Amino acid sequence: MNPFKILDVDAGASQKDIIQAVARAMREKIYPGRELAMAQQLLLDPVTRATQEFLHVLDLKLLLDTLPLERPPAIGQDDRLPLICLDVFDGEE
């Protein structure tokens, strides 16, 4: 089970956010009460919460930040390339 998904909270949610999310989820009745209780328990305990974050939350920012993107220059204008048609292959099989 993914407690973040069940309670519809993100990784940075505070304890207050979590408790409010549980109340909201109970009203919405999308998930059974037992699952909501378990999700709440998992997220309120710092140790289990850290493990749940490790399992379910994907933060790729660190990874993407290590990849500087440098766009190559777009050669030519109006989608026409400044190329001359060569005849170097003419006569080859």
Residues engaged in binding other proteins (CB under 8 A): 11-15, 46-51, 53-56, 58, 60, 62-64, 66-76, 79-93
**Nearest residue to 49 via CA among 61, 37, 41:** 41
Which C-beta is closer to other proteins: that of 34 or that of 80?
A: 80
Which C-beta is closer to other proteins: that of 10 or that of 27?
A: 10
Min. distance of Cβ 84 from other proteins in angstroms?
A: 8
**Contact indicator for 35, 1 with CB cutoff of 8 Å:** yes
**Can you tell me the distance from the alpha carbon of 66 to that of 50, in angstroms, rounded to the nearest whole number?**
24
Min. distance of Cβ 39 from other proteins in angstroms?
A: 14
Residue 78 gets the label, from left (phi > 0), alpha (psi -120 to 50) or beta, of left
Min. distance of Cβ 20 from other proteins in angstroms?
A: 14
Which C-beta is closer to other proteins: that of 29 or that of 69?
A: 69
